[in-house]
């Protein structure tokens, strides 16, 4: 047992307790528990450890690994499980098809009962929370498969939710639950330190082979320093092992750059830190974006988005009008867009009402719905020239909807179309930065027309 | 014999099965009475070949032959043609008669052992008899609607009339007639009614369209030597779908002069024709209606005593107690018989323990009544764990606090925290409390939504708060 745990610890460090428990459940030769629920945050090593522990190496254990997301019907789920437990593989020889058709639970149970009794079986279901959306009898079935089939069979459910979210009205049998905690900072450091050989390999690939003498200065201690410094920046933001390893690999190259050039010696960690801060900052803001190695150094794309979207002139004005319609109260329209709207009497009440609270600003609360009439009215009010209401203009509205810059807030049921007045309501989905950029392109000051900014 | 489960037994299936056997001219065997024939073992093997071709279009023909081997395919064909009749396995030897008088009483009290003459239903019998006999004599069609709550002897009386008429026609006192019975509950789909009717007329199984066409042809065309057909439709309300075409056709055929069809329909609700059926259908159903009133306690007593005629194993006061209790609740004869049978079993147990003759007395009946009538929920609460009881108490406290019956989990949990603090128990964490809530929901003491909207799930008590207090009285928590 200890050898087994040690063997897995070399691949997946810091998970000894869980490996111990899984070993006790599945590798000691005792009957399996009917079902095991393993939960914890994403990328804490649930699936990979289970896969490693349940690897069949001639011990009469057959395992089926299923992702519940891919099984959008019962048939796919049942056939995938039965196929993997039988050991059938889809090849060209059998025309990538399974010869049996398992549509109902009774077919599935019959298929399981026909498996050889001498062996033991485990079904691993990833993203098990999807089971709740499937047929109602599936979850209770999977929790008591040994009773239904008489085999030594177990179901391992993997999910990131606690089991309380699975309770159904008809009740579920008791289930063994296993929590996989997040890695601590020290554990994460050990995990990233494990990547030292691959990091060195990348360094050798990049540099000139003749000038590799400097690589001797990149010692494990140096790497440990780097990891410590790296986690000092990133640990507050992200604890996802996958993501951290990726970013650490990416930032190690620029970190070692000055050593290769010979500008900063490897011992001068202070200067190295100053040198790398800029790269780390950029990497921090592009976390989870998976932009690839090339673009990670350039600025973020969120500010560049309006530049990439090229809209026609009137479409820009329509979009601005939609933004104004979404983010201004209807009662303010007269004052904002009508030339001679009359004099406003200043009363204490209105002054108090206008006192701005940031949380209550319309631009903070989210866009409101408007109808087409209001959109067109604002459009004609903010446009200086007079254009006819042609079908080109109307098509541009629906094109904006197609581009998802506008969305339908409510659609008429009768199918009378957009032009029948109040039924179809739209919403503007773009943000303030985007619209200000568009306004700058056509020479229109958007802020001037937002009631929030008075 | 096996103890019937509490609640209404599925009598229609059993009774109409027996009648079907009679109508085929075969003797009703004793074995069949004791273990009523099941529709057929459909569930034995699942079809592997495409559905359309293998699935028989109705439930009752044997579908055990589903493997698409040539042998079973030919067998399937024979079954559909009606050449092979479905049978069930027989015991190697019939069970020996128990010499015990209690066992004999139990056998007689069995719900499926219908007596030849039904006590307390003479008037209804007369009415149905007169209607059917008149129509058969005149050779015309007609409709009758019979209603009444479950267990009042509707189907039993009607089939008894048919049996008597059949007997008469065999002795050629009245003209010959065909008898068909269908039961809405036994159909997978209303249109399967055509298939069943056609099979009982000809013995062949067809698709419903074909069956309908053939039946329509039969009832609309003139035939010189047509005999009267009596069609008994049990559970009429199941045959009503949105279009109501099946009910319409079944009730339209009797209006045709050529059909000579008499339709007797049975359902539970008195105002079904007005409530559920379209105008053109309820007008065809006509006004010949008969309502079976629930039995009062004298009638129930008479029914039980008639079954036990010539036996001294039952105390007459015990029968009266059963009759009064059942008459007060539903007036269901089947329930009275079930309770009596349970009482004989209890007496049997006692006799076995003491080794002497025991008659069924008041105590046995009292015990059987408490077993079958008392609320299971109160007992569930009493036997549930301490935390579950505390949670239930928290729910009642929250209901009294807000005055609204529906409360959400958050409110209940805060009450639970207070209650747990009072009784000196450590508070379960919300996840555990949700597990407790789910267990109580599974036993239907609470009604709540699933675990998905966790702390915002709505909780409703499924029993009254008084019952909860009553059940928790014995508990140490109060």
Residue B257 confidence (pLDDT) above 80: yes
Rg of chain A taking only CA atoms, in angstroms: 31
Which residue, chain included where needed, has tokens 């989990």? B409
- What contacts A43, CB < 8 A, 6 or more positions away? A240, A241, A242, A243
Residue A363 confidence (pLDDT) above 80: no
Q: Choose among B457, B376, B380: nearest CA to B413.
A: B457
Residue B379 confidence (pLDDT) above 60: yes
Residue A406 confidence (pLDDT) above 50: yes
CA gap B347, B342 in Å, rounded: 9
* Residue B71 or B216, more confident: B216
Q: How far is A100 from chain B (nearest CA, A)?
A: 9
Asked if residues A420 and A439 have their Cβ atoms less than 8 Å apart, the reply is no
Q: Tell me what the pLDDT averaged over chain B comes to.
A: 83
pLDDT at residue A420, as a whole number: 64
DSSP assignment, residue A54?
Answer: T
CA gap B228, B223 in Å, rounded: 12
Q: Do A171 and B439 touch (CB under 8 A)?
A: yes
CA gap A189, A241 in Å, rounded: 10
Rg of chain B taking only CA atoms, in angstroms: 28
* Residue B99 or B147, more confident: B147
Asked if residues A156 and A122 have their Cβ atoms less than 8 Å apart, the reply is yes
Q: Which of A104, A107, A168 minimises the CB distance to B450?
A: A168
- B332 — phi, psi (to 5°)? -95, 120
Q: Do A170 and B442 touch (CB under 8 A)?
A: yes
Q: Choose among B304, B249, B384, B393: nearest CA to B111.
A: B304
CA gap B468, B465 in Å, rounded: 5
Asked if residues A21 and A15 have their Cβ atoms less than 8 Å apart, the reply is no
3-state helix, strand, coil in chain A (%, to 5): 55, 10, 35
* Residue A412 or B78, more confident: B78
Q: How many CB pairs under 8 A join A and B?
A: 43
CA gap B295, B336 in Å, rounded: 11
B13 confidence band (pLDDT: 50, 70, 90): very low
CA gap A8, B355 in Å, rounded: 68
What value does the mean pLDDT take over residues B156-160?
94
Asked if residues A51 and A65 have their Cβ atoms less than 8 Å apart, the reply is yes
For residue A284, give both structure tokens: 């921090």
If one counts every other C-beta atom within 10 angstroms of the C-beta of residue B15, the result is 21
Residue B157 confidence (pLDDT) above 90: yes
Q: Count CA atoms closer than 13 A to A190's CA, side-chain side.
A: 11
Q: Choose among B192, B121, B188: nearest CA to B151.
A: B121
Which residue, chain included where needed, has tokens 């009982």? B200
With a pLDDT cut of 70, the percent of chain B lying above it is 83
**SS3 track for A207-228:** CCHHHHHHHHHCCHHHHHHHHH
Least confidently predicted of A299-308, A415-424, B318-327, B381-390: A299-308
CA gap A291, A237 in Å, rounded: 18
Residue B10 confidence (pLDDT) above 60: no
Q: Count CA atoms closer than 13 A to A220's CA, side-chain side.
A: 7
Alpha helices in A207-357 (DSSP H): 220-234, 241-261, 269-285, 305-308, 313-327, 333-337, 348-354
Residue B409 confidence (pLDDT) above 60: yes
* Residue B65 or A193, more confident: A193
CA torsion angle for B59, B61, B67, B70 (degrees, to 10)? Answer: -150
If one counts every other C-beta atom within 10 angstroms of the C-beta of residue A58, the result is 5
What value does the mean pLDDT take over residues B185-199?
94
What value does the mean pLDDT take over residues A13-25?
91
Q: Do A171 and B431 touch (CB under 8 A)?
A: no
Asked if residues A84 and A143 have their Cβ atoms less than 8 Å apart, the reply is no
With a pLDDT cut of 90, the percent of chain B lying above it is 53
Q: Choose among B408, B463, B452, B384: nearest CA to A168.
A: B452
A413 confidence band (pLDDT: 50, 70, 90): low
Which residue, chain included where needed, has tokens 């024939």? B37
Q: Which of A107, A132, A164 minimises the CB distance to B435?
A: A164
pLDDT tens profile A315-325: 999 999 999 99
DSSP assignment, residue A331?
Answer: G
Q: How far is A14 from chain B (nearest CA, A)?
A: 27
pLDDT at residue B373, as a whole number: 73
DSSP string, B7-51: S---HHHHHHHHHHHHHTT----HHHHHSPPPS--TTSS---S-H
Q: Which residue of B has its CA nearest to A161?
A: B452
B303 confidence band (pLDDT: 50, 70, 90): very high
Q: Which residue of B has its CA nearest to A129?
A: B452
Angle made by CA atoms B440, B445, B448, in degrees to the nearest 5 = 70
Q: Choose among A306, A290, A205, A287: nearest CA to A253.
A: A205
For residue A447, give both structure tokens: 């802020």
Q: Do B441 and A169 touch (CB under 8 A)?
A: yes
SS3 A39: strand
CB < 8 Å to B457, chain A: none
Asked if residues B263 and B228 have their Cβ atoms less than 8 Å apart, the reply is no
- Note every long-range contact of A248-255, with CB atoms under 8 Å and residues 24 or more positions apart, other chains counting: A248/A192, A248/A195, A249/A195, A249/A198, A249/A199, A249/A202, A250/A283, A250/A293, A250/A296, A251/A276, A251/A279, A251/A280, A251/A283, A252/A199, A252/A202, A252/A203, A252/A226, A253/A202, A253/A203, A253/A206, A254/A279, A255/A226, A255/A279
The complex scores an ipTM of: 0.83
Q: Do B442 and A169 touch (CB under 8 A)?
A: yes
What value does the mean pLDDT take over residues B396-402?
93
Selection from A7-11, A96-100, A159-163 with the highest mean pLDDT: A159-163
pLDDT tens profile B108-136: 899 888 888 888 999 999 999 999 999 99
pLDDT at residue B117, as a whole number: 86
Interface of B with A in 420-459 (CB under 8 A): 430-431, 434-435, 437-439, 441-443, 448-452, 454
Asked if residues B16 and B181 have their Cβ atoms less than 8 Å apart, the reply is yes
Residue B410 confidence (pLDDT) above 60: yes
Residue B41 confidence (pLDDT) above 60: no
**SS3 track for A127-182:** CHHHHHHCCCCHHHHHHCHHHHHCCEEEEEEEECCCHHHHCCCCCCCCCEEEECCC
Q: Choose among B339, B334, B295: nearest CA to B319.
A: B339
pLDDT at residue B122, as a whole number: 93
* Residue B192 or B99, more confident: B192
Residue B23 confidence (pLDDT) above 70: no
Selection from A77-86, A358-367, B37-46, B369-378 with the highest mean pLDDT: A77-86
Residue B63 confidence (pLDDT) above 60: no
If one counts every other C-beta atom within 10 angstroms of the C-beta of residue A281, the result is 11
What ranges do the domains of chain A cover?
1-179, 185-286, 313-449
Q: How far is A102 from chain B (nearest CA, A)?
A: 9
Residue B60 confidence (pLDDT) above 50: no
A264 confidence band (pLDDT: 50, 70, 90): confident
Q: Which residue of A has its CA nearest to B47?
A: A107
Q: Which residue of A has its CA nearest to B434?
A: A164
Q: Tell me what the pLDDT averaged over chain A comes to.
A: 86
- B146 — phi, psi (to 5°)? -115, 130
pLDDT tens profile A51-70: 999 987 777 889 999 999 99
For residue B186, give both structure tokens: 């036994």
For residue B195, give both structure tokens: 């298939």
Interface of B with A in 311-370 (CB under 8 A): none
A168 touches chain B (CB under 8 A): yes
| Integer angstrom CA distances of residue B9 from A37, A206, B160, B251 | 41, 82, 20, 29
Asked if residues B382 and B471 have their Cβ atoms less than 8 Å apart, the reply is yes
pLDDT at residue A163, as a whole number: 93
Domain A1-179 part of CATH 1.20.1640.10: no
């Amino acid at each position: 047992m200890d050898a087994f745990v040690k063997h897995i610890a070399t691949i997946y460090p810091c998970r000894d307790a869980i490996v111990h428990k899984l070993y006790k459940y599945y590798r000691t030769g005792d009957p399996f528990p009917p079902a095991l629920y393993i939960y914890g945050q994403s990328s804490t090593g649930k699936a990979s450890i289970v896969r490693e522990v349940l690897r069949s190496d001639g011990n009469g254990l057959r395992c089926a690994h299923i992702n519940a997301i891919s099984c959008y019907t019962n048939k796919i789920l049942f056939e995938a499980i039965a196929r993997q437990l039988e050991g059938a593989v889809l090849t060209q020889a059998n025309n990538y098809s399974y010869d049996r058709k398992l549509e109902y639970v009774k077919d599935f149970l019959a298929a399981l009962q026909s498996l050889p009794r001498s062996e033991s079986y485990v079904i691993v279901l990833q993203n098990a929370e999807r089971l709740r959306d499937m047929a109602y009898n599936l979850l209770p079935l999977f929790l008591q498969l040994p009773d239904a089939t008489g085999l030594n069979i177990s179901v391992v459910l993997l999910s990131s939710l606690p089991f309380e979210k699975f309770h159904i009205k008809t009740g579920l049998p008791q289930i063994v639950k296993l929590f996989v905690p997040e890695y601590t900072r020290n554990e994460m450091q050990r995990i990233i330190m494990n990547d030292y050989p691959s990091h060195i390999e990348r360094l050798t690939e990049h540099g000139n082979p003749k000038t590799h003498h400097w690589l001797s200065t990149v010692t494990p201690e140096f790497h440990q320093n780097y990891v410590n410094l790296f986690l000092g920046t990133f640990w507050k933001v992200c604890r996802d092992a996958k993501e951290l390893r990726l970013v650490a690999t990416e930032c190690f190259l620029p970190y070692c750059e000055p050593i290769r050039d010979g500008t900063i010696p490897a011992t001068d960690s202070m200067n190295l830190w100053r040198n790398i801060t800029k790269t780390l900052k950029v990497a921090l803001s592009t976390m989870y974006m998976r932009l690839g190695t090339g673009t990670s150094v350039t600025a973020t794309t969120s500010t560049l988005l309006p530049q990439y979207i090229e809209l026609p002139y009137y479409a820009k004005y329509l979009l601005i009008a939609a933004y104004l319609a979404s983010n201004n109260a209807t009662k303010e329209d007269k004052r904002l867009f009508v030339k001679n709207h009359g004099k406003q009497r200043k009363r204490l009440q209105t002054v108090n009402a206008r006192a701005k609270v940031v949380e209550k600003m319309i631009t903070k609360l989210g866009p409101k719905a408007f109808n087409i009439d209001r959109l067109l009215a604002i459009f004609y009010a903010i446009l200086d020239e007079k254009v006819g209401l042609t079908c080109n203009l109307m098509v541009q509205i629906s094109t904006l909807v197609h581009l998802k810059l506008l969305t339908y807030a409510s659609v008429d049921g009768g199918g009378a179309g957009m032009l029948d007045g109040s039924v179809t309501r739209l919403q503007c989905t773009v943000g303030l930065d985007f619209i200000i950029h568009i306004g700058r392109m056509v020479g229109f000051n958007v802020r001037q027309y937002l009631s929030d900014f008075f | 014999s096996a103890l019937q489960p509490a609640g209404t037994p599925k009598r229609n299936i059993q009774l109409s099965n027996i009648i079907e056997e009679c109508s085929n001219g075969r003797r009703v065997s004793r074995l069949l009475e004791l273990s009523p024939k099941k529709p057929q073992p459909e569930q034995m093997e699942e079809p592997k070949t495409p559905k359309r071709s293998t699935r028989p279009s109705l439930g009752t023909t044997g579908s055990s032959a589903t493997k698409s081997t040539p042998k079973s395919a030919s067998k399937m064909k024979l079954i559909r043609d009606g050449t092979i009749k479905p049978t069930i396995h027989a015991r190697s030897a019939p069970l020996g008669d128990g010499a015990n008088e209690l066992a004999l009483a139990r056998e007689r009290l069995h719900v499926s052992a219908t007596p030849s003459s039904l006590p307390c239903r003479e008037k209804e019998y007369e009415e149905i008899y007169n209607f059917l006999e008149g129509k058969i004599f005149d050779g015309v069609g007609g409709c009758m609607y019979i209603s009444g709550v479950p267990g009042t002897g509707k189907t039993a009386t009607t089939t008894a009339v048919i049996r008597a008429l059949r007997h008469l026609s065999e002795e050629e006192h009245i003209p010959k007639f065909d008898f068909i019975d269908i039961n809405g509950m036994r159909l997978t789909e209303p249109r399967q009614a055509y298939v069943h009717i056609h099979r009982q007329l000809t013995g062949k199984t067809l698709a419903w369209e074909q069956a309908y066409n053939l039946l329509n042809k039969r009832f609309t065309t003139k035939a010189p030597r047509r005999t009267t057909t009596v069609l008994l439709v049990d559970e009429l309300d199941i045959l009503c779908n949105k279009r109501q075409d099946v009910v319409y056709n079944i009730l339209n055929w009797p209006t045709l002069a050529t059909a000579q069809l008499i339709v007797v329909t049975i359902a539970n609700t008195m105002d079904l024709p007005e409530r559920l059926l379209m105008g053109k259908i309820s007008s065809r159903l006509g006004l010949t209606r008969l309502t079976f009133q629930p039995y009062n306690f004298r009638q129930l007593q008479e029914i039980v005593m008639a079954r036990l005629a010539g036996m001294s194993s039952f105390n007459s006061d015990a029968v009266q107690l059963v009759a009064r209790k059942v008459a007060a609740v539903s007036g269901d004869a089947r329930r009275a018989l079930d309770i009596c049978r349970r009482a004989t079993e209890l007496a049997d147990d006692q006799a076995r323990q003491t080794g002497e003759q025991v008659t069924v007395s008041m105590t046995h009946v009292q015990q059987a009544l408490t077993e079958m009538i008392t609320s299971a929920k109160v007992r569930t609460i009493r036997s549930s764990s301490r935390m579950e009881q505390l949670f239930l108490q928290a729910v009642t406290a929250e209901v009294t606090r807000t005055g609204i019956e529906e409360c959400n989990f958050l409110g209940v949990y805060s009450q639970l925290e207070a209650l747990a603090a009072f009784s000196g128990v450590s508070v379960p964490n919300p996840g555990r409390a949700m597990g407790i809530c789910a267990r109580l929901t599974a036993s239907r003491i609470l009604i709540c939504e699933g675990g998905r909207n966790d702390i915002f799930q709505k909780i409703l008590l499924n029993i009254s708060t008084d019952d909860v207090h009553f059940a928790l009285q014995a508990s140490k928590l109060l």
